[in-house]
Homo-oligomer: A and B are copies of this chain.
Amino acid sequence: MVSSMGLARISRVTPAQIRKDLSYFGRFGKQGRGYNVGQLLEELWRILGLNRRWRIALVGVGKVGRAILEYGGFDSQGFQVVQAFDVDHQIVGQKLASVTIRHASELEQRLREDPVDIGIVAVPAVEAQAVVDALVRCGVKAILNYAPLCPRRPAHVELRQIDPVLALQSMTFHLKALEQPAKRR
């Protein structure tokens, strides 16, 4: 068993926040006792949709795309790359991590025959919007985008960005502040 206070210490949020958030989805605790760890974990997995496997299509098998295909960490967490596309004829036809790379021109046809839940975009910035549009047309509901721009998409399509340069740029403001003499806590 664990109390909201216990969870709060671990996750560095307030106990009230823990209780409020959990109460949004149900009543998982017992007064006077706290939460059953195993039961809570299972409920959270279910709520977050992590108790099943998700099918992914990768577009762009350059440096980043190849790293994604060869990285074992997705599969073990229930995320399975089942299709991969690129425009480079040199690599089309190659098989990486049990996925055969197809030419991007086949993308829409193949995704209609064999739909996926999530698209990963690892193409140059100039191509990214067109790829996102194509994925959306094929019914993809979530996109993980490595291209350094924020593509337009319908409101119901979830988007997450992976952009290390932007992450660095978002820190320099605070670094600059530290250099000034009047440093506050």
Which residues of A are interface residues toward B (Cβ below 8 A)?
47-50, 54, 63-64, 67-68, 70-71, 73-74, 77, 79, 117-118, 141-142, 144, 148, 155-156, 158, 160, 162, 164-165, 167-176, 178, 185
A77 — which chain B residues lie within 8 A by C-beta?
165, 168-169
A48 — which chain B residues lie within 8 A by C-beta?
169, 172-173, 176
Interface contact A169-B73, CB-CB below 8 Å: no
Interface contact A175-B49, CB-CB below 8 Å: yes
Question: 24 A-B pairs, CB-CB below 8 angstroms?
Answer: A48-B172, A49-B173, A49-B175, A54-B168, A54-B172, A63-B70, A68-B164, A73-B148, A74-B164, A74-B168, A77-B165, A77-B168, A79-B168, A118-B171, A142-B171, A142-B172, A144-B164, A144-B168, A144-B171, A156-B178, A158-B175, A160-B167, A160-B170, A162-B164
A68 — which chain B residues lie within 8 A by C-beta?
164
Of all chain B residues, the one with the shortest Cβ separation from A73 is B165
Q: A118-B175, A162-B167 are in contact. List 11 more A-B contacts (CB 8 A).
A: A49-B172, A49-B173, A63-B67, A64-B67, A68-B164, A142-B175, A144-B164, A144-B167, A144-B168, A160-B171, A162-B162
Say how far A136's CB is from chain B's closest CB, in angstroms.
13
Determine which of B117, B148, B168, B170 lies in contact with A175 in the assembled complex, contact meaning CB atoms within 8 Å: B117
Say how far A178's CB is from chain B's closest CB, in angstroms.
6
A118 — which chain B residues lie within 8 A by C-beta?
168, 171, 175
Determine which of B47, B71, B144 lies in contact with A173 in the assembled complex, contact meaning CB atoms within 8 Å: B47
A79 — which chain B residues lie within 8 A by C-beta?
165, 168
Given A68-B164, A167-B144, A50-B172 contact (CB < 8 Å): yes
A164 — which chain B residues lie within 8 A by C-beta?
68, 74, 144, 162
